[in-house]
Each structure stands twice: as structure tokens, then as C-alpha cells.
């Protein structure tokens, strides 16, 4: 049985007949029926269509590593370098996230002499805004659609989010804009 494939490439129609392998109406650059991804036009997609129903769990993020606010800075930096993390969630004595440690900012503080290895984390923690009606929390959990995660990044003006358990008791992972970009490239 003959199968025909119709592909639209720019303003040309490429008709491929599987039994004769002939190309009609094709540009010289696509004689073999293939073009580079960079030169192939992509249809206009609505925002978020690139994720095709994927959720945070599909990012396959490594488990988060959280530290208590009274831990020494040396422990945090050692953990960050071992795991190649740029942000580390910081928890209070009730194990609730109060902020994060920006590893790049700490590195520059060390270079300027403004941070010591035995400093407590709470001295260098970037604190989260307290949830209120003007600054409500956005809950990110494993089944949060990636479209919502991207929207959170855009609205909050941040490059990362803490993924929490369904009951908001545990920090499970840290998702970044880079994770979304890698996911889209990997998924094709």
C-alpha cells in the first residue's frame, strides 16, 4: 500500500511518495527530504504548549538538600559544591522554609571578606516574603503543570521554585528556569 506524506516547508509543498522516493516542488536544500531543526519553520504555539501536559514530577529533579538556619556557612557551601546547587533552601526550627542561600552571592561575600566560614546561615539567608493577601504563596508540588511553573517564574521574577509535598510539609526539590529549558530540549 502506498503511503503519502505531506509536509509544509515554508511556502513550498514537499510531496514524498514512499514507493518512488521522488520529491516534487522542493528547494535544493531539502533534496533528501530533511532540513535542520534551526531552518524548519515551527507553527505558532500557544504559551505552554511546548510542555504538552507535563508536570513538575516529569522534570526528574534531584532531591532538595535543606539546611537549618543555625547551621554554619561552611556546611552549606560544602553541600552546595558537592551537589552543584546554586540555591539551598533554609529551614527554621519547625522545618518550614524561611528562605534560601544564594551560593554565588556567598562566594562574592567571601572574596570581599564579608562572610566567614563559621557564620550562621540566617545571617546570609535571602528570606521569603511572608504570605499575605498582597503576596500570596504559590504552591508548587509534583503535579503542578509546567505551564504554571513557568508562569510563576515570570510573575515572581525569580529563577527557581521550591517543590513541596502535597501537604506542604517537605521541600522535595528545587526547580529552575534552566530545568524547564532542558526539559523542552530533551522532549523535542
Predicted model pTM: 0.65
For the chain, how far is it from start to end, CA to CA, in angstroms? 30
Is the Cβ–Cβ distance between 178 and 161 less than 8 Å?
no
Grid cell listed for 105: 552571592
Q: pLDDT by residue (tens digit) across 77-121?
A: 999 889 888 889 999 998 888 889 999 999 899 889 999 999 999
SS3 17: strand
Question: What residues have CB less than 8 Å from 173, skipping those under 6 apart?
Answer: 56, 59, 61, 62, 63, 64, 162, 163
Residue 55 Rama label (left phi>0; alpha psi -120 to 50; beta): beta
Amino acid at each position: 500500500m502506498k503511503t503519502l506524506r505531506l509536509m509544509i516547508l515554508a511556502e513550498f509543498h514537499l510531496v514524498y511518495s514512499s514507493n518512488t522516493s521522488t520529491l516534487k516542488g522542493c528547494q535544493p536544500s531539502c533534496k533528501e527530504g530533511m532540513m535542520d531543526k534551526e531552518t524548519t519553520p515551527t507553527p505558532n504555539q500557544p504559551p505552554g504548549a511546548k510542555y504538552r501536559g507535563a508536570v513538575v514530577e516529569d522534570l526528574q529533579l534531584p532531591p532538595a538538600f535543606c539546611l537549618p538556619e543555625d547551621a554554619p556557612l561552611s556546611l552549606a557551601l560544602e553541600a552546595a559544591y558537592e551537589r552543584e546547587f546554586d540555591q539551598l533552601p533554609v529551614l527554621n526550627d519547625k522545618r518550614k522554609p524561611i528562605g534560601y542561600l544564594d551560593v554565588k552571592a556567598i562566594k562574592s561575600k567571601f572574596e570581599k571578606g564579608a562572610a566567614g566560614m563559621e557564620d550562621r546561615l540566617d545571617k546570609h539567608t535571602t528570606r521569603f516574603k511572608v504570605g499575605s493577601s498582597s503576596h500570596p504563596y504559590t504552591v508548587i508540588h509534583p503535579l503542578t503543570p509546567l505551564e504554571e511553573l513557568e508562569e510563576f517564574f515570570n510573575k515572581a521574577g525569580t529563577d527557581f521554585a521550591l517543590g513541596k509535598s502535597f501537604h506542604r510539609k517537605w521541600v522535595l526539590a528545587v526547580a529552575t528556569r534552566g530545568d524547564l529549558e532542558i526539559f523542552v530540549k530533551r522532549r523535542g
